[in-house]
Amino acid sequence: MSKELAGKVALVTGGSRGIGAAIVRRLAQDGAHVAFTYVSQPEKAAEMAKAVQTLGVRALAIRADSVDPTAVVAAVEKTASELGGLDILVNNAGVVAVAPIEEFKLEDFDRTMAINVRAVFVATQAAVRHMKEGGRVITIGSCNADRMPFAGGAVYAMSKSALVGLVKGLARDLGPRGITINNIQPGPVDTDMNPANGPSAEALKGFMALKHYGHAEDVAGMVAYLANSGAGFVTGASLTIDGGFNA
């Protein structure tokens, strides 16, 4: 059976756990060689790379903190050098800091913007230098860009809202080159950062039309769609996958 992404090379930032890990696995299952970045737990990252290789593709774990723009660019260059190019970039790395406005620390503001916004720009800028026609840039945003239903999340919501404008604008830059860029906006997804049995779970389910969390594989499936040739006419879009959180 032919695989849609056979021979393609992908880089997933923050790809060692949660949604990022599911994306890495799905792209590999579809035939892509996959590099991913991680910040800590090198043994776990190495184990994941070995597991991905059992799918018959090459895998590369790269230690890089998205708060550091130099490390982000280096991860892109290492991917292109060692895997022979770059066709797909998934900007998945992100952080969440929640606090009342009176208590929100400036260092948390700066870190949120550095990872959730600046690193997306930096990685994209570096990646598209390697991409040919048919290249794909996919950013993982949040449904909170459109709806923030509780106090303390203003900075996080702002960082994810910024991606909407960035993606729309970059679609104009990249369109003439045949490269698409899109933004996926997940709602509550069962991961170690926001478990389905966590302290906020019942409150979040109350906002949803479907009264259950999504799975990381749900988001990975949407990434796979945007990465393949069937989505070649989709660009500059923000696609929501949130169980009706924003309905």
pLDDT at 1 over 60: no
Residues whose CB falls within 8 Å of the CB of residue 57, separated by 6 or more in sequence, listed in order: 28, 31, 32, 33, 34
Q: Is residue 196 assigned to a domain?
A: yes
Long-range contacts for 166-171 (Cβ within 8 Å, ≥24 apart)?
A: 166/117, 166/120, 166/121, 166/139, 167/139, 167/236, 167/237, 167/238, 168/236, 170/124, 170/137, 170/236, 171/235, 171/236
Q: Which residue has better confidence, 98 or 1?
A: 98
Instruction: Please indicate whether residue 225 is annotated as part of the active site.
Output: no
Given a contact cutoff of 8 angstroms between Cβ atoms, the answer to whether 151 and 203 are in contact is: no
Residues whose CB falls within 8 Å of the CB of residue 98, separated by 6 or more in sequence, listed in order: 152, 153, 156
Q: Render pLDDT for 164-181 as a digit per residue (tens, 0 to 9).
A: 999 999 999 999 999 999
Q: Render pLDDT for 23-51 as a digit per residue (tens, 0 to 9).
A: 999 999 999 999 999 999 999 999 999 99
Confidence of residue 137 (pLDDT cuts 50, 70, 90): very high
pLDDT at residue 134, as a whole number: 97
Cα–Cα distance for residue pair 168/34, rounded to 1 Å: 26
pTM of structure: 0.97
CA dihedral angle for residue 56, residue 57, residue 58, residue 60, rounded to 10 degrees: -110
Mean pLDDT, all residues of the chain: 97
Q: Which of 119, 180, 138 lies closest to 23 in space, CA to CA?
A: 138
Neighbours of 46 (CB within 10 A): 14
pLDDT at 86 over 60: yes
Q: CATH no. for residue 114?
A: 3.40.50.720
Q: Would you call 125 helix, strand, or coil by DSSP?
A: helix
pLDDT at residue 123, as a whole number: 98
Q: Is residue 78 assigned to a domain?
A: yes
Q: 26: domain range?
A: 9-236
Q: Render pLDDT for 203-213 as a digit per residue (tens, 0 to 9).
A: 999 999 999 99
pLDDT at 2 over 80: no
pLDDT at 144 over 80: yes
Q: Is residue 247 assigned to a domain?
A: no
Given a contact cutoff of 8 angstroms between Cβ atoms, the answer to whether 19 and 186 are in contact is: yes
The residues that bridge with 10 in the sheet, in sequence order, are 34, 88
Confidence of residue 193 (pLDDT cuts 50, 70, 90): confident
Q: Is residue 246 assigned to a domain?
A: no
Name the domain count of the chain. 1
Given a contact cutoff of 8 angstroms between Cβ atoms, the answer to whether 18 and 216 are in contact is: yes
Average pLDDT over residues 147-172: 97
Q: How many residues are recorded in the chain? A: 247
Confidence of residue 22 (pLDDT cuts 50, 70, 90): very high
